[in-house]
Amino acid sequence: MDRVNKIIKNRDYQKYLNELKKMEKNRKFCRHNLPHFLDVARIASIINLKTNAQIDDEHIYAAALLHDIGRAKADVYDPSHAAVSAKLSEKILRDCCFFELEINYILDAIIRHDDKNFNNVKNLSGILYIADKLSRPCYMCDMKEPCFWNLEKKNLELKI
């Protein structure tokens, strides 16, 4: 997990995390921060083990840590944040010693992480999609009613 630790320590990554923190300071809905990214990574890792998808943990953690950083540059409600996240992630992944094939694989998962059409537990983008949704405790959220997520996306029960 050396390369994953390099992501966390990466100067650009830290900058985007700080920008997200400032942007979402008064956000009442779910925040996009390191605890969220780690929740997604851990849930994705569990799904990977349970389904025997055999996806490398470094790829799971890299994709999870980077999947929402584009929100620092895109409007928080903008669905294109996934593409922005991928664009910002490319340099970080290179700086952290990922190989070209790995970078393309991780970027593809980041781009597709909010697309329900890629909801497949046998690939990284599908596992990332599912883990991202499961990471949100909608079932006990004070903002459940005013939340803009449709009922299909809301995680209304604890499950894995």
Distance CA(115)–CA(141), nearest Å, equals 23
Q: In degrees, to the nearest 5, what angle opens at C-alpha 117 toward C-alphas 138 and 60?
A: 70
Q: Which of 55, 37, 40 is nearest to 124 (CA)?
A: 55
pLDDT, residue 43, reads 95
What is the reported pLDDT for 76?
Answer: 53
Give me the residue spans of the domains in the chain: 2-140
pLDDT at 140: 78
pLDDT at residue 99 in the model? 98
Entry pTM: 0.89
Consecutive 10-residue runs of the chain (160 residues): their mean pLDDT?
97 95 80 91 96 96 96 69 92 98 97 75 90 84 73 76
Q: Which fold has domain 2-140?
A: Hypothetical protein af1432 (1.10.3210)
